[in-house]
Each structure stands twice: as structure tokens, then as C-alpha cells.
Amino acid sequence: MLTFSPALVFALGGLVALLCLLGLPWWWHQRRLRLQRAPFPPAWRRYLWRWPLYRHLPPVLQQRLQKMVQVFVAEKPVIGCQGLQVTDEMRVLIAAQACLMVLQLHASAGTAPFPELRQVLLYPHPFVVQASRTQPGGVVSSGQEIRLGESWQHGQVVLSWPDVQAGLRENTAQNLVIHEFAHQLDQENGPANGAPLLQRGQSVATWAQVFQREYETLQWLVDAGASTLIDPYGASAPEEFFAVASETFFMQPQALAQQHPALFAQLARYYDLDPRAWT
């Protein structure tokens, strides 16, 4: 009878584990390449064509977005909550809005858009959460709040489907998917704080200077009761400012570039995109 020493068994087990560890990323890479090479389903193209912003994209970016959507839909489950039945149209439209943001950030062939994302929870309406707030004087209060969306650091995004649909309309200024997935980008290097991992060569000091100045300006305008291009909700915290600024960057790029040129320049450098060309 053939026998093996414990040391040899342990060594072979370690070798198998190492091969699996090295082979798994290669397998995922090859799977994504196959997904990206596969024909884009005609029904999915019809879903995207109903989105005005998609129609304005140049053909090369439309094709890149389609490839990313195929990977996103295959790898990121969209789970219906409170009885909501999730359709392919819902999956494709959520994926497309999210992937629009990372057309350059996550553009390498065979890679996954939003690699840390595990799943999306989709509600049929705004949802209620138990939340705590710190009041003046340091007193912490808790209670129920109605939310349209949430982004969690451990790779989960929560969305209200009617509000996802609202972001697909012509000339809308807000986009829930962009807002929550901006938080996902912000959370790639730790808790959201308005300072995502920047592009190679992008100045952290310049980013911090521009964003701090713009954030404080928004706070001052909101306190003064003035109207603002950037959603006043961005004045509530630095991470919310980055999320709403990203919404404005994609949804109202011309206005953002005119009224906040330094902020627009930082976002254009970070996303490596210029949405002004799409309008």
C-alpha cells in the first residue's frame, strides 16, 4: 500500500492551495474577457437606448460601457427586497449608470468594475433605516429615517428603484446610482471621507485644497439660504459633498465647469472623462 509522510502530505496540500490561489485570478480574468467578447444582447441595447445620456455617448464609449455592463451583470447580484422582482432591465440600467463613472478608472480588459462590490439591494420604494445622529453638545439621538440609497464599506449598495429611474430622465440634475457608487469609490481606501484614491500623478494637496474650499463655500451658501448648483445635501459632510459633486459632474457638466472650474478640473482628472462632450 502506498503511503505518504505527514510532511509530504502537508507540502502537497500547500502546493495545491498555492496553485488555486494563483489560478483563481487568471480564471476570473479569462471569464471576464469572454464576457466582454460576447455579443451584447439586443434587448439590453434597447434598454440602454431609452437612457438619454447613453445616446449622447460617442460610439467608442458606448461599446466600452456595454462590455463593462456585461461583466457587472454577471458578477454583481441585484437582489430584490420587500417582494420586488428584479428584471434584466433593472440590472442593466443600474449597471450602466454605475459603470459610466468608471469608463476610464476600471477600463482595463479583463477587470471588474467596482471590484470590491459584492451585491446591490433594490427596494420598490424609499426604505426606512434606524439611524443615529450627534446633536449639538455631543448628545447622540437615534430614530427612523427614510433613505433613497446607501453605500456600505464592505461592498454593498442599497437603492430605491423609483429613484434609480428618476436619474435616467432627460435634463435631471440628480442621479442616485452615481451618488451611491461615488461613495463606493470613496470607500476603496477606507471609510468615506471625500478623498478617494486619486489618479497616478494627481496631487492630493491640490485635491484637498480645492474640495475644502468648495465644500466650505457650499456650506456658507446653504446657511445663507442661497440657491446652489450643487445639491445642498453636499454641505452635510465631506463624503456627501464628493458624492453630490460627482452627480453634478456627470449630470450638469457644462454648468459645473462654468461655475466651479477648479472643482470640475479635479473631477475630470480623477474620472479621466469630460462629460461636456456628451451634451
* pLDDT at residue 173 tops 60: yes
Is 21 within the bounds of a domain? no
* pLDDT at residue 24 tops 80: no
Residues 35 and 166 in one domain: yes
Distance CA 240, CA 192 (A): 9
Residues 135 and 216 in one domain: no
- What are 151's strand-pairing partners? 157
- What are 131's strand-pairing partners? 143
Tell me the per-residue pLDDT of 101-152, one tens digit each, with 9 for 90 and over.
Answer: 999 998 876 678 999 999 999 999 998 887 666 545 555 556 678 889 999 9
Residues 154 and 200 in one domain: no
Residue type for position 231: D
Q: Please, which pLDDT band fits residue 18 given cuts at 50, 70 and 90?
A: very low
Q: Please, which pLDDT band fits residue 33 given cuts at 50, 70 and 90?
A: confident
Spatial contact of 95 and 73, defined as CB atoms under 8 Å apart: yes
Is 183 within the bounds of a domain? no
Q: Which range, of 19-28, 56-65, 104-113, 264-273, averages the lowest pLDDT?
A: 19-28
Cα-Cα-Cα-Cα torsion 108, 153, 265, 96, nearest 10 degrees, comes to 50
Q: What is the CATH number of the domain that holds 236?
A: 3.40.390.10
Range of the domain at 262: 193-279
Distance CA 137, CA 130 (A): 21
* Total tally of structural domains belonging to the chain: 2
pLDDT of amino acid 262: 98
Q: Please, which pLDDT band fits residue 26 given cuts at 50, 70 and 90?
A: confident
Residues 77 and 155 in one domain: yes
Coil vs helix vs strand at 194: coil
Is 230 within the bounds of a domain? yes
Distance CA 151, CA 181 (A): 7
Distance CA 98, CA 194 (A): 18
